[in-house]
Structure 1
Amino acid sequence: MLRSRRVGLGAALRELVAEAAKASPARLALTVFSGMILLVTVMLELPIATVERERTPLVDALFTAVSAVCVTGLTTVDTPTHWSTFGLVVLMFAMKIGGLGVLTLASLLSLSVMRHMGLAQRLITASETRSERLSEVGGVLATIVITSTSFELLTFFALTPHMIANQYPLGTSLFNGAFYAISAFNNAGFVPEVSGTAQYVGDPWFSIPIALAVFVGSLGFPVILVLVRSWRRRAHWTLHAKLTLSTSALLFVLGWIGIALMEWGNPDTLGGHGTGTKLLASAFASVMPRSGGLSTLDVSQFAPATRLFVDILMFIGGGSGSTGGGIKVTTFALLVLSIIAEARGDRDVEVFSRRIPHETIRQAISVLVMSAAVVLVATLVMLELTGLDLDRTVFEVLSAYGTVGLSTGITPDLPTSAKCVIIACMYMGRIGPMTLGAALALRERSRVVRLPEERPIVG
């Protein structure tokens, strides 16, 4: 009797997921993602999740859950002193699941519940993972999980011996190593230690593994899959991989040089350290705005010009299909290339001996405008609710929307209404404006008749 009930419930669940995936895979993805946030919130609300064995206020539990699932790292409570071991394990689980991505998570649900994916689900998953063949989607998902876990294990094995050598107990070293590995690769930005990451400024055994994990995680699974395949066999590098790697490397170098020059003499950041530490700390700080959120320097002590520079890096974010946020490096690269092509009078946008379709440029412009609109509206609302200065407010909003996690220290003191604004920014920044628009669209517009063309004056 019990077995028949389970079979009946399983069949009903499979049918429900199948219908949802067929009707709108994007809405299914948002439903799964929102469900994960709700589940993590409930778990963090349990008294066992806190050191004091007391319930966390709902807004703080929700804020932390959204920050973890959306791999941001902003917090309204002190992570190592407020959350118990159980609470920290819940955060690790949330960061790992959230780092896989919205559509990947929904696809994995479809596979686990239905034992297969329908055509609609395969199409939208292929779009996120950039699979060339629909038959490869299942294998690509497995590769994503295996690859991400492998990078996390490499980071864990690199960090743990160093922590043991620094007189940490074995259990603490193992736990912190695993926490940092998951937090770094998934660009989550959560820290399990009371002393934070400032203690590791100038420490290459911590900074280099963490920075590498953040950088690789921010490249995006489509690029990682290309690199893995080219390592196994001489596979062709896609245009997306070339564009992402070259733009990411350029942004890293520019960020490294820019932060080093602007903070070199600042006594509150780099000024009091030697040349080696300055170079390492500025390189680490250049990687983190990609969406890493960890910092060995006090961001609140950055010069205003440096914070504006970091604002730009956070708005650009990481690669498409990555654990990072922002408008994505490929969007930024396409916009720059289109501006160059327009300035030169070229008819087409070309890069790496390939022509970029006009539809792709239009999508890049849409992402830029929608993201800028979200940031602008959120900043206006935050200024009205908090009365804070524009510099810190913009930094906080961009950090949330870019799912970065860097903060000038104002997050815990925000009123409840302002925390809700930051929650909305983190959520929209993680799922992406295009995914949100597709999920909320009631129907697709298809027009048979096209109106006559006429060019307005631009500029």
Structure 2
Amino acid sequence: MTKWNWNGLRIGQWSPPRILVAGFACIILLGAVLLSQPFASSSGERLPFIDALFTATSATCVTGLVVVDTGTYFSVWGQIILLVLIQVGGLGFMTMATLFALVLKKRISLRERLLLQEAMNQSSMEGIVRLIRKVLIYSVAVELIGAVLFALRFAFDMPPGKAAYFGIFHAISLFNNAGFDIFGEFRSLTLYVGDPVVNITAMGLIVLGGLGFVVLSDIIGYRKLRKLSLHSKVVLTTTGVLLAVGTIVIFIFEYSNAKTLGSLDWGGKIWASMFQSVTPRTAGANTLDYTALRQATVFFTIMLMFIGASPGSTGGGIKTTTFTTLIGAVIAMIRGREDIVFFRHRLAKDRIFKALTITMLSLSLVILVTMVLATTEDQQFIKILFEVTSAFGTVGLSLGLTPELTDIGKIIIAFTMFAGRLGPLTLAYALGPKTEKELFRYPEGKITIG
């Protein structure tokens, strides 16, 4: 029997991208309603719905941009609502739905497997349910370890019960690359800028959450299979290079800045440089005051945020594999080669076209939103560009612009976070008309390039 909604649209015939968009939108609206209730705030006052909608979008899209301070404004219930939204948004609502289906021992239908394939950004349905089981196990295990390490460290600064709660909250937030914190006064992890335990734990959670669950599965199974997939090799190599280059560049740019690295000892300088290289990978936490960074560092961070994390992860951005594919295309063209080759494997042409499409759609979105906000908001251009890129990459880093946004600015940034979490290509598939395969091809033509 065909299922109809109140507008007469056949929900049963919706494409997977459209269902994903609708699902995330419903979760955000539900979260906004809950966050706007009096019990969600520490003062008992209602959060204006536009602010609740913005916060729910930021949590569900695991971004971390906030218009009110999470640690002081929200009650424990409000923070728990945020934590649930972060967990559901990070793993994906289809992953959570699969969890309930597995617990209830219900069969996963073909249509549900197609949705999971789209949600996890996989090219095949083969082994998708098995991957989801691993995702859930890995997530719980990593978050639990992170929570314990955080709690043990925070117990030196606060009562054990509060330390445990802080450990759980920040472990879930950082693993899902959300960037929400409850230390108050928008401080994030600046109190622990030179603390090895907090830095290592936080960076470990961020990197593991940003690698992607397919890569984590490959790493865990390496001892048995003694090999990694091409995807995992590319992701790990790109991630390592970006983190190393980011650390060096930030160290050099900020070394003499008295407001950032300049006031720290050598150990603090290294930890802070590493952390600020890791966090633009869509994490959003920070140990330095970003408003005090030099403009060169800010612009470099914008580039890192635009690249983002890896496919099938809790992070956003155009993804590391997209970036590497584009670099490979440039190298192949310069060397006069027809194929892009990584680790003795050539990439299919459709992968190259997809990388170009994602990059152009993403760049167009960031440029368009930046231009609009430059009109609606009376702020410096670099601050607007930084905030927009942070929203698109679901990063959550801020130069202090978000709390000062107008209502129209909040709506625009919320949409940018939504588009960044789902991916501009998925959003285009969901909102665009259904396409049919062409039955013919036009004759080839030539134009001059360059």
Decide whether the 8 Å contact of 2:20 with 2:119 is kept in 1.
no
1:184 aligned residue (171, 174, 177): 174
Structure 2 Cα separation of the partners of residues 250 and 76 of structure 1: 34
Amino acid at match of 1:177: G
Deviation at 1:363, TM superposition (A): 0.3
Amino acid at match of 1:286: S
Q: Partner residue of 1:219? A: 211
2:31 is aligned with 1:40: yes
Which 10-residue stretch deviates more, 114-123 or 287-296?
114-123
2:399 is aligned with 1:386: no
| Structure-to-structure mapping, 1:406-417, within 5 angstroms | 406-417=397-408
Change (3 A) 1:222 1:79: same
Give structure 1 stretches of 5+ with no counterpart. 1-11, 14-18
Deviation at 1:31, TM superposition (A): 1.5
Q: What does the per-residue CA deviation read over 1:16-59, in whole Å, with 9 as the maximum and x for residues that have no partner?
A: xxx74653122111111111111111110110000001110011
Decide whether the 8 Å contact of 2:121 with 2:311 is kept in 1.
no
Amino acid at match of 2:147: F
1:450 aligned residue (438, 441, 445): 441
Deviation at 1:116, TM superposition (A): 3.1
Give structure 2 stretches of 5+ with no counterpart. 5-9
SS at match of 2:346: strand
Structure 1 Cα separation of the partners of residues 300 and 398 of structure 2: 14
Q: Partner residue of 1:249? A: 240
SS at match of 2:221: helix
2:420 aligned residue (429, 433, 441): 429
2:165 aligned residue (175, 178, 188): 175
Decide whether the 8 Å contact of 1:131 with 1:140 is kept in 2.
no
Change (3 A) 1:40 1:215: same
By percentage of residues, which structure has more helix? 1
Structure 2 Cα separation of the partners of residues 224 and 91 of structure 1: 26
Decide whether the 8 Å contact of 1:284 with 1:295 is kept in 2.
yes
1:78 aligned residue (66, 69, 74): 69
Structure 1 Cα separation of the partners of residues 111 and 444 of structure 2: 34
Q: Partner residue of 1:65? A: 56
2:128 is aligned with 1:137: yes
Structure 2 Cα separation of the partners of residues 295 and 303 of structure 1: 15
Decide whether the 8 Å contact of 1:226 with 1:241 is kept in 2.
yes
Structure 1 Cα separation of the partners of residues 124 and 259 of structure 2: 53
Q: Partner residue of 1:118? A: 109
SS at match of 1:289: coil
Amino acid at match of 1:197: L
Amino acid at match of 2:36: E
Change (3 A) 1:344 1:200: same
Amino acid at match of 2:216: I
2:40 is aligned with 1:49: yes
Change (3 A) 1:121 1:450: farther
Structure 1 Cα separation of the partners of residues 188 and 309 of structure 2: 24
2:287 aligned residue (290, 296, 310): 296
Structure 1 Cα separation of the partners of residues 381 and 200 of structure 2: 33
Deviation at 1:455, TM superposition (A): 1.9
SS at match of 1:243: helix
2:195 aligned residue (198, 203, 209): 203
Structure 2 Cα separation of the partners of residues 66 and 312 of structure 1: 23
Amino acid at match of 2:133: A
Q: Aligned-pair RMSD on alpha carbons?
A: 2.1
Structure 2 Cα separation of the partners of residues 122 and 363 of structure 1: 22
Decide whether the 8 Å contact of 1:325 with 1:401 is kept in 2.
yes
Amino acid at match of 1:188: A
Q: What does the per-residue CA deviation read over 1:271-324, in whole Å, with 9 as the maximum and x for residues that have no partner?
A: 011111000111011000001100010001100000000000000000011111
Q: Partner residue of 2:7? A: none
Q: What does the per-residue CA deviation read over 1:298-356, in whole Å, with 9 as the maximum and x for residues that have no partner?
A: 00110000000000000000001111111000000000000000010001111101010
Amino acid at match of 1:182: I
Decide whether the 8 Å contact of 1:21 with 1:120 is kept in 2.
no
Change (3 A) 1:113 1:67: farther
2:264 is aligned with 1:273: yes
Decide whether the 8 Å contact of 1:71 with 1:188 is kept in 2.
yes
Q: Partner residue of 1:371? A: 362
Structure 1 Cα separation of the partners of residues 125 and 418 of structure 2: 29
Deviation at 1:442, TM superposition (A): 2.5
Which 10-residue stretch deviates more, 30-39 or 335-344?
30-39
2:117 is aligned with 1:149: no
SS at match of 1:222: helix
Deviation at 1:121, TM superposition (A): 3.4
Q: What does the per-residue CA deviation read over 1:341-399, in whole Å, with 9 as the maximum and x for residues that have no partner?
A: 00100011111010101110000000000000100010001000012111111000001
Percent pairwise identity: 37
2:250 is aligned with 1:234: no
Decide whether the 8 Å contact of 1:314 with 1:398 is kept in 2.
yes
Decide whether the 8 Å contact of 2:38 with 2:44 is kept in 1.
yes
Deviation at 1:132, TM superposition (A): 7.9
Number of aligned residue pairs: give it. 442
Q: What does the per-residue CA deviation read over 1:48-81, in whole Å, with 9 as the maximum and x for residues that have no partner?
A: 0000011100111011100000000000001111
